Amino acid sequence: MRRKFQGNRYTKTTKVGNNVVSYLIGENVTSTTSSNNAGTPDSASKTKLSNSDDAYYSAEHENGDLGYILVDVSILESIFSDYLCCKLCGEPVTLKELSARNGLANKLIVSCVNCNFSNPLYISKKCKGDLFESDVRILYGMPAIGKGPTPAKLLCGILDLPQPPSGMNKYTGVIGTAEKTAATASMKTAAEEAIQLNDGDKNIPVAFDGTWQKRGHASKTLQSQRQV
């Protein structure tokens, strides 16, 4: 018989009627109070878990960017042909998908049925050089959930999307720069919060775990302490 889970410091409990309900931090449960480890300060892990919902919210939507949606190209074609017209002659226009692709960034062309007007365009913005944002997002997103290139190809195949780019090397610089910027901002925010919780005193003790060290390996703990 398996032992029933009784909760831990990462769970909260609340009384609903005559029942006591346990739930994970981050779940939407109203009128809740934490009864686990009462009187003890929250750990860093607990604080991160309680704020985890904000980490997955895209800040671009705050700036008016609508983000990405999945759209059937045939539906777009019918919308263009039924409701849009050429800005030069006023005749209907058509939308076609070209064979030229750059990973997930399909290339489309808008052309007039009457005059010679045509305008090719990609369905994704470029973030740096010739790199498209949609490719950078999937190449960063799959490792973020513990998956690699093969599951990415399978996912795109199931969703009837173009295959992701095969070369990862030219994207590592862009992803690495973005990760470094985000990590620096996160550590700066964490340091400011720690100073605020310490009544404005920057003299904060730091503990290092050196149990991983083995004989024959040079220790860098002392060097890290000096750098901090």
At 111 the pLDDT is 92
Higher pLDDT residue, 109 or 168? 109
For residues 224 and 34, give the distance between their C-alpha atoms in angstroms, rounded to a whole number.
Answer: 36
pLDDT at residue 158 tops 90: yes
Q: What is the mean pLDDT of residues 150-171?
A: 88
Q: Does the model's pTM come out above 0.75?
A: no
At 49 the pLDDT is 60
At 35 the pLDDT is 45
At 205 the pLDDT is 82
Residue 190 makes CB contacts below 8 A (sequence gap 6+) with none
Angle at 108 between CA 58 and CA 138, to 5 degrees: 35
Q: What is the mean pLDDT of residues 146-159?
A: 91
At 32 the pLDDT is 41
pLDDT at residue 29 tops 50: no
For residues 30 and 49, give the distance between their C-alpha atoms in angstroms, rounded to a whole number.
Answer: 17
Higher pLDDT residue, 227 or 205? 205
Higher pLDDT residue, 11 or 125? 125
pLDDT at residue 36 tops 60: no
Higher pLDDT residue, 59 or 172? 172
Local structure of residue 27 (DSSP, 8 states) = S
pLDDT at residue 225 tops 70: no
Higher pLDDT residue, 60 or 82? 82
The gap from C-alpha 38 to its chain's centroid, in whole angstroms, comes to: 34
In this structure, the number of other CB atoms found within 10 A of the CB of residue 152 comes to 19
pLDDT, the chain, mean: 76
Per the listing, tokens 């226009």 go with 93
Please, where are the H alpha helices in 16-116? Answer: 44-50, 52-55, 73-83
Highest mean pLDDT pick, 21-25, 55-59, 129-133: 129-133
